[in-house]
């Protein structure tokens, strides 16, 4: 029998689907809201996005340090790390906690207080002088030598020593002032259960991994911030470090932590086991490999119910804004695109963890956050040698 002719799809005028309340793929609508705006994803990653969604004790701990944390990853990075440590790492893994690259110091104090409650010590390592020189053979043009330095006349090392005194961690928090390649880990820290690398540059992350990976207990965790960053240094450093471990080393499984980070569990590779195939053994992988060569899991974000609820609330806000704009007769395509992104992100979080996996799942995670990534690219990223002011902050 001859195949029956199929009806041809009719061309859709831009914005018509949005006007009709239908879902629209994020890349199909030609208009976007001017950035920054107050809707998804910016409201999801605001400093107060977790208010009212967390257990009171955790909410209070975050409030103590909110004014000294970068937003993002605050608050969701701290929330997801805290929950993973309390439920999985601290009860089962020996070792202390550390952060290499403390920024404004709030995250170090947050983890130091957690360490003290569980009888551990905490190590904070930073130059307090800003970034060392980037290597544009490893880092895309973005950062400058001296970024994150204190303003003229400031002393971030002294400021951090004074700042931490207010949080009852003097007997727990040890501070090392050095660039990571020169840092010497105090002998008290003979093993680690958790290390947070917030180091921005390839060499800084690689040098940190060389120092701490041998000291990381089996089942311990390294979190790498800025993994999904335009500079790409941290991502390249992670790939190169694990490749140099040798051909017998199995690739790590990277647990994605919104917005920019990945978490790596020592002893938890992307290889689930080996299957006999005649005379050969074939690895059974967690998922197909992504185009960047990595294997990703999204279970931490999916299991964080406060985060999922915050996405639901963000979707409701942009749906309301879209409806109000339509009622006023204003252009709706920008709202429709933001709404579509929120819908796609929520659908991705609700996807069953035991469902079919794809190497392109990382794109499904990143695409709805387009506004966030595009605005943080800003004027800092692009051409080498373009003059700009340094990023400075006080602790």
In the chain, % helix, strand, coil (3-state, to 5) comes to 35, 15, 50
Q: For 139, which DSSP code?
A: S
Sequential DSSP letters for 9-21: PPPPPTTHHHHTT
Q: What are phi and psi of 123, to 5 degrees?
A: -115, 125
In the chain, where the domains are located: 55-301
Max Cα separation, the chain? Answer: 84
Per residue in 249-295, pLDDT tens? Answer: 899 999 999 999 999 999 999 999 999 888 888 999 999 999 999 99
CATH topology for the 55-301 domain: Rossmann fold (3.40.50)
Q: What are phi and psi of 281, to 5 degrees?
A: -110, 130
CA distance 371 to 373: 6
pLDDT band per the 50, 70, 90 thresholds, residue 226: very high
CA distance 175 to 173: 7
Q: What are phi and psi of 315, to 5 degrees?
A: -65, -45
CA distance 128 to 139: 21
Sequential DSSP letters for 291-311: TTS-EEE-HHHHH-HHHHHHH
Quick one: average pLDDT of 121-132?
Answer: 97
Question: Could you give the count of Cα atoms lying within 13 Å of 101 in the half-sphere of its Cβ?
Answer: 27
pLDDT band per the 50, 70, 90 thresholds, residue 35: confident
Per residue in 57-85, pLDDT tens? Answer: 999 999 999 999 999 999 999 999 999 99
Res 43: pLDDT:
97
CA distance 152 to 154: 6
Res 382: pLDDT:
63
Angle at 281 between CA 277 and CA 285, to 5 degrees: 100
């Amino acid at each position: 029998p001859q195949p029956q002719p199929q009806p041809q799809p009719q061309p859709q005028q831009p914005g018509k689907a949005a006007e009709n309340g239908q879902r629209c793929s994020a890349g199909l609508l030609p208009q976007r809201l001017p950035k920054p705006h107050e809707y998804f994803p910016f409201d999801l990653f605001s400093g107060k996005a977790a208010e009212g969604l967390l257990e009171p004790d955790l909410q209070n701990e975050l409030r103590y340090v909110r004014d000294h944390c970068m937003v993002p990853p605050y608050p969701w990075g701290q929330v997801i790390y805290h929950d993973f440590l309390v439920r999985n790492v601290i009860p089962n893994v020996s070792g202390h906690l550390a952060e290499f690259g403390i920024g404004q110091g709030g995250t170090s104090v947050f983890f130091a207080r957690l360490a003290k409650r569980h009888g551990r010590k905490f190590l904070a390592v930073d130059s307090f002088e800003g970034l060392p020189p980037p290597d544009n053979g490893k880092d895309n043009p973005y950062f400058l030598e001296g970024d994150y330095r204190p303003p003229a006349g400031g002393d971030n090392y002294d400021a951090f020593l004074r700042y931490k005194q207010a949080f009852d961690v003097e007997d727990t928090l040890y501070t090392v002032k050095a660039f990571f390649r020169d840092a010497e880990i105090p002998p008290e820290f003979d093993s680690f259960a958790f290390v947070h690398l917030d180091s921005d540059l390839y060499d800084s992350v690689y040098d940190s991994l060389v120092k701490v990976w041998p000291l990381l207990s089996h089942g311990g965790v390294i979190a790498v911030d800025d993994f999904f960053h335009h500079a790409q240094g941290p991502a390249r450093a992670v790939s190169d470090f694990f490749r140099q471990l040798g051909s017998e080393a199995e690739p790590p499984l990277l647990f994605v932590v919104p917005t920019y980070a990945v978490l790596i569990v020592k002893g938890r590779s992307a290889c689930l086991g080996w299957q006999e195939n005649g005379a050969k053994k074939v690895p059974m992988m967690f998922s197909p490999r992504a185009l960047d060569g990595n294997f990703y899991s999204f279970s931490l974000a999916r299991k964080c119910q406060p985060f999922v609820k915050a996405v639901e609330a963000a979707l409701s806000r942009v749906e309301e804004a879209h409806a109000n704009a339509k009622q006023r007769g204003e252009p709706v395509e920008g709202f429709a695109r933001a709404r579509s992104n929120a819908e796609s992100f929520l659908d991705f979080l609700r996807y069953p963890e035991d469902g079919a996996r794809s190497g392109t799942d990382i794109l499904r995670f990143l695409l709805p956050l387009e506004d966030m990534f595009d605005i943080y690219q800003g004027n800092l990223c692009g051409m080498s040698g373009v003059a700009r002011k340094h990023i400075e902050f006080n602790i």
